[in-house]
């Protein structure tokens, strides 16, 4: 595996091969983090590409004394995902639909692909995660999937350490609540 | 059974998530060693914690980027990188915002100056330099954002603000455009030797037609931009709209000279 510091140095000096290596080294993790936060394949790809572009464009702003490269990269990814999420959450406004609402097509909100991609068992946990508020989802994904420390989660999410800790706990409590009742029995069977 | 109180849910969660202080952890362990109830509670939580953790991990890790997501797709955006000094990069964030606000102030001021002309038709005189200057400001903003959108988009909130201000700008400038078109038609009719009544009808028709176009452009534009906040296509449409408005705005300068 190529040395990360060396690659960053080379890209800072303008070597595009180094940028490509950095990109290939991190694209899967950035993509997965985006997917964890947005829950949708197309959005995840858009956010991941944007985050990687931003990171590579602003490589001079990366300070290795302040954070690890992945933490910095995840910070950018989270911020891009928030932007995209905000955009998605805008109420749909359509004048054209309003003018001819008689023959406005029914919205097809669910992508069939998204359903078949995952197996049913973990869908339960996954769907519960999707119901969390964005900040709680960020916290739990960064903790469980990203295996970040609380300090790093606080840096990435831009909140105090205590807040990061309580968000993770709160997210867990919510998931627990959502899962008990509906799926406790299934989870128990799975555990045996 | 123990004599002291059972461990709180909050502490239990803290134990699992390793957010307890050393002292808290010690007293926790102590209580745990002789309280089967809390031991069971902890085991229960830990089990669920592991399940949630495992499910989340597999759910995320089973997706992989498609083949479309490759370095070649972002390489052109990287090449747009200009060697900008730190100062300019900070400034370049404020510049479009300042230009948009400045343009809006100019546009509204121009509208206010020309309020009288809405009711009294005039020979086609330029509506002052303010609306024209406003157009230049708006063109700068939309083209700058268009250019940026390929390398790196600004923050969503900033793009939304800019888009809204540009839209408001086109709304105001559009009203002034109707004014210019009406006066141009009036002068054309007069110099062609039409009777006053015919001239009046022509002017009203001109206002009606341009008003319909205006409403379509403003309302349709609102929807188009709203759905594509920050996309190059949105900035491009803004640029085109404003350039067209600017063109109408400067028409009286040519006819005045004749
Ligand atoms: Zn106890």
Task: Give per-residue pLDDT as tens, B136-176.
Answer: 999 988 888 877 766 666 678 888 899 999 999 999 999 99
Mean pLDDT (whole number) for B177-204: 86
Interchain pair A118, B59: CB under 8 A: yes
Do A33 and A66 share a domain, yes or no?
yes
Do A171 and A137 contact (CB within 8 A), yes or no?
Answer: yes
The percentage of chain B sitting over the pLDDT mark of 70, rounded to a whole number, equals 86
**pLDDT given at position A100:** 57
Where is the domain boundary, A49, A71, A88? A88
Structure tokens at A87: 């955009």
d(CA A94, CA B164): 16
Rounded to 10 deg, the angle between the A161-179 and B36-61 helix axes is 90
Interchain pair B63, A24: CB under 8 A: no
Interchain pair B52, A175: CB under 8 A: yes
CATH number at residue A126: 1.10.10.10
Chain A residue with Cα closest to B223: A94
Q: CB distance from B57 to chain A under 8 Å?
A: yes
Do A177 and A130 share a domain, yes or no?
yes
Q: Compute and round to an integer the Cα radius of gyration of chain B.
A: 32
Of B57, B64, B69, which is closest to A144 when you measure between CB atoms? B57
d(CA A20, CA A156): 24
Interchain pair A125, B71: CB under 8 A: no
Of B48, B69, B71, which is closest to A187 when you measure between CB atoms? B48
Structure tokens at B130: 């303010």
Q: What is the distance in A from the centroid of ligand 1 to the CA of B27?
A: 11
CATH number at residue A47: 1.10.1740.10
Interchain pair B64, A28: CB under 8 A: yes
A109 pLDDT band, cuts 50/70/90, is very low
Q: CB distance from B13 to chain A under 8 Å?
A: yes
Structure tokens at B123: 């020979």
Do A119 and A61 share a domain, yes or no?
no
Do A67 and A148 share a domain, yes or no?
no
Residue B183 pLDDT exceeds 50: yes
Do A122 and A158 share a domain, yes or no?
yes
Question: Minimal Cα–Cα distance from B241 to chain A, Å?
Answer: 19
Q: Which residues of A touch B52 (CB under 8 A)?
A: 125, 144, 172, 175-176, 179
Residue A155 pLDDT exceeds 60: yes
Long-range Cβ contacts of A31-35 (<8 Å, 24+ apart): A31/B63, A31/B64, A31/B65, A31/B69, A32/A145, A32/B60, A32/B61, A32/B63, A32/B64, A33/A74, A33/A77, A33/A78, A33/A81, A33/A141, A33/A142, A33/A145, A33/A146, A33/B60, A34/A77, A34/A80, A34/A81, A35/B60, A35/B63
Mean pLDDT (whole number) for A169-189: 71
Task: Give per-residue pLDDT as tens, B74-116.
Answer: 888 887 654 454 555 555 678 888 899 999 999 998 888 887 7
A117 pLDDT band, cuts 50/70/90, is very low
**pLDDT given at position A173:** 87
Q: What is the distance in A from the centroid of ligand 1 to the CA of A147?
A: 30
CA separation, residue B248 to residues B116, B127, B178 (Å): 20, 11, 9
Do A56 and A112 share a domain, yes or no?
no
Residue B4 pLDDT exceeds 70: no
Do A99 and A186 share a domain, yes or no?
yes
Residue B71 pLDDT exceeds 80: yes
**pLDDT given at position A138:** 94
Interface with B, mutate which of A24, A38, A42, A56 (most B CBs under 10 A): A56
pLDDT, averaged across chain B? 84
**pLDDT given at position A18:** 93
Q: Which residues of A touch B148 (CB under 8 A)?
A: none
**pLDDT given at position A77:** 94
Q: Which residues of B touch A83 (CB under 8 A)?
A: 155-156
Task: Give per-residue pLDDT as tens, B43-64.
Answer: 988 988 888 888 889 889 989 9
Instruction: Name the nearest CA neighbour of B42 among B14, B62, B19.
Output: B14
As for how many domains chain A has, the answer is 2
Lowest mean pLDDT among A96-100, B22-26, B207-211: A96-100
Mean pLDDT (whole number) for A120-130: 79
Do A105 and A180 share a domain, yes or no?
yes
Where is the domain boundary, A88, A116, A135? A88
d(CA A140, CA A129): 8
The percentage of chain B sitting over the pLDDT mark of 90, rounded to a whole number, equals 33
Domain span including residue A67: 4-88
CA separation, residue B186 to residues B121, B222, B248 (Å): 8, 31, 15
Do A67 and A103 share a domain, yes or no?
no
CB count in 10 Å sphere of residue B40 = 10
Do A107 and A31 share a domain, yes or no?
no
A107 pLDDT band, cuts 50/70/90, is very low
d(CA A121, CA A116): 12
Structure tokens at A149: 């420390």
Residue A142 pLDDT exceeds 90: yes
**pLDDT given at position A118:** 46
Report ipTM (2 d.p.): 0.77
Interchain pair A57, B51: CB under 8 A: no
**pLDDT given at position B189:** 86
Interchain pair A57, B49: CB under 8 A: no
Work out how many CB contacts closer than 8 A connect A with B.
Answer: 131
Q: CB distance from B30 to chain A under 8 Å?
A: no
Residue A76 pLDDT exceeds 70: yes
**DSSP states of A38-100:** H--HHHHHHHHHHHHHHHHHTGGG--TTTS-HHHHHHHHHHHHHHHHHHHHHSPP--HHHHHT
Interface with A, mutate which of B21, B50, B52, B228 (most A CBs under 10 A): B52
Q: Rounded to 10 degrees, what is the CA torsion of A53, B225, A88, A70? A: 10
Do A73 and A152 share a domain, yes or no?
no
Where is the domain boundary, A88, A111, A142? A88
Do A102 and A146 share a domain, yes or no?
yes
């Amino acid at each position: 595996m190529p040395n990360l510091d060396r690659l960053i140095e080379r890209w800072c000096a303008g070597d595009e091969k180094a940028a490509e290596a950095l990109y290939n080294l991190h694209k899967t993790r950035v993509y997965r983090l985006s997917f964890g936060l947005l829950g949708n394949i197309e959005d995840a790809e858009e956010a991941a590409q944007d985050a990687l572009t931003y990171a590579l464009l602003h490589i001079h702003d990366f300070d290795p004394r302040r954070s690890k490269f992945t933490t910095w990269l995840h910070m950018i990814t989270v911020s891009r995902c928030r932007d995209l999420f905000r955009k998605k959450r805008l109420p749909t406004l359509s004048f054209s639909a309003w003018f001819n609402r008689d023959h406005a097509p029914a919205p097809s909100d669910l992508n069939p692909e998204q359903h078949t991609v995952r197996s049913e068992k973990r869908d339960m946990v996954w769907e519960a995660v999707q119901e969390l508020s964005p900040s709680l989802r960020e916290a739990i994904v960064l903790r469980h999937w990203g295996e970040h420390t609380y300090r790093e989660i606080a840096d990435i999410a831009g909140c105090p350490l205590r807040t990061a800790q309580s968000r993770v706990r709160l997210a867990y409590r919510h998931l627990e609540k959502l899962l008990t009742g509906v799926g406790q029995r299934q989870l128990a069977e799975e555990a045996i | 059974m123990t004599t002291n109180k059972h461990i709180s849910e909050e502490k239990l969660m803290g134990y699992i998530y390793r957010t307890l202080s050393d002292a808290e952890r010690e007293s926790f362990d102590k209580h745990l060693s002789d309280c089967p109830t809390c031991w069971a509670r902890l085991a229960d939580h830990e089990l669920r914690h592991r399940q949630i953790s495992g499910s989340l991990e597999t759910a995320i890790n089973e997706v992989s980027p498609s083949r479309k997501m490759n370095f070649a797709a972002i390489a052109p955006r990287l090449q747009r990188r200009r060697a900008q000094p730190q100062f300019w990069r900070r400034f370049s964030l404020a510049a479009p915002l300042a230009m948009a606000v400045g343009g809006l102030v100019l546009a509204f001021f121009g509208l206010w100056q020309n309020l009288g002309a809405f009711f009294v038709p005039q020979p086609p005189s330029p509506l002052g330099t303010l609306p024209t200057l406003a157009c230049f400001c708006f063109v700068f903003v939309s083209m700058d954002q268009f250019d940026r959108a390929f390398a790196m988009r600004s923050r969503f909130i900033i793009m939304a603000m800019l888009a809204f201000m540009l839209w408001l700008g086109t709304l105001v400038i559009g009203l002034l455009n109707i004014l210019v078109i009406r006066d141009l038609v009036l002068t054309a009719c007069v110099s062609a030797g039409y009777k006053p009544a015919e001239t009046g009808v022509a002017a009203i028709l001109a206002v009606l037609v341009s008003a319909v176009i205006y409403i379509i452009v403003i309302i349709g534009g609102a929807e188009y931009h709203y759905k594509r906040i920050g996309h190059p296509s949105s900035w491009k449409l803004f640029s085109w709209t404003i350039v067209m408005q600017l063109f109408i705005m400067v028409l009286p300068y040519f006819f005045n000279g004749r």
